[in-house]
């Protein structure tokens, strides 16, 4: 267990615990405020993220930033963003079970140190890993699950919204629900 976020990051950046280390450009640890009350979790870095070392920086990331801005959140101000796996799966395929399992301890330590009140899962992979194995984004997006005093919610992955623009309205509504939940349970976010 780590007591320092900086040490956790330093060690994670050197990780070679799974085969994704062989094909990555760099580890994408996460970005944001280290004591944020709201944590966003995606599935893994894509091409732009692998090159720049930051989660959600491509077109999907720009869309995510727009939704965040809509409810007065930003990665520089009041949230943290991380991924289930910290290294890019080749050709943006889904991270394999064994890769997720190998990487899980980094996210678990991030969660323990950040200690968020709300975790928002971006897309199926993150929601099935963190909320429940049979989570279905189309049916359960925007629903808050309470677990041991904190709240979990799943919504669409921004990349999926770029492919299916018809879902953008539902995603925006999820962010409005998120704002309501923040106002209800968080003390420092706004
Ligand atoms: S994906 Fe995770 S476990 Fe695999 S090498 Fe990267 S940091 Fe390590």
Domain boundaries, position 175: 5-184
Burial class (CB in 10 A: 0-12, 13-18, 19+), 21: middle
Does residue 190 fall inside a structural domain? no
Per the prediction, the chain carries an average pLDDT of 97
Q: 168 CA to middle of ligand 1, Å?
A: 31
pLDDT the model gives residue 71: 98
Could you give the dihedral angle defined by the CA atoms of residues 190, 186, 105 and 127, in that order, rounded to the nearest 10 degrees?
-90
Q: What is the pTM of this model?
A: 0.98
Any domain includes 18 = yes
Q: Which CATH number characterizes residue 38's domain?
A: 3.40.470.10
Pairing, β 144-147 against β 150-155: antiparallel
Which position has the higher pLDDT, 22 or 149? 22
Q: In angstroms, what is the span from residue 8 Cα to ligand 1's centroid? A: 13
Number of C-beta neighbours around residue 169 at 10 A: 9
In a domain, 189, yes or no: no
Q: What is the pLDDT of residue 149?
A: 83
Nearest protein CA to atom 4 of ligand 1, as residue: 18
| Tally of domains in the chain | 1
């Amino acid at each position: 267990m780590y007591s320092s976020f900086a040490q956790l990051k330093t060690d994670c950046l050197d990780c070679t615990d799974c085969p994704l280390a062989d094909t990555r450009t760099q580890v994408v640890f996460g970005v944001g405020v280290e004591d944020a009350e709201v944590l966003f979790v995606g599935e893994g870095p894509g091409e732009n993220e692998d090159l720049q070392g930051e989660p959600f920086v491509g077109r999907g990331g720009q869309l995510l930033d727009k939704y965040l801005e809509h409810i007065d959140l930003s990665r520089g101000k009041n949230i943290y963003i991380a991924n289930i796996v910290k290294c890019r799966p080749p050709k943006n395929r889904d991270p394999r079970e064994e890769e997720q399992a190998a990487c899980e301890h980094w996210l678990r330590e991030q969660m323990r140190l950040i200690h968020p009140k709300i975790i928002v899962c971006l897309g199926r992979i993150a929601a099935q890993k963190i909320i429940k194995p049979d989570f279905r984004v189309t049916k359960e997006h925007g629903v808050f699950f309470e677990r041991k005093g904190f709240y979990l919610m799943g919504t669409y992955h921004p990349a999926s919204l770029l492919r299916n623009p018809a879902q953008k309205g539902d995603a925006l509504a999820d962010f409005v629900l998120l704002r309501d939940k923040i106002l209800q349970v968080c003390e420092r976010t706004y």
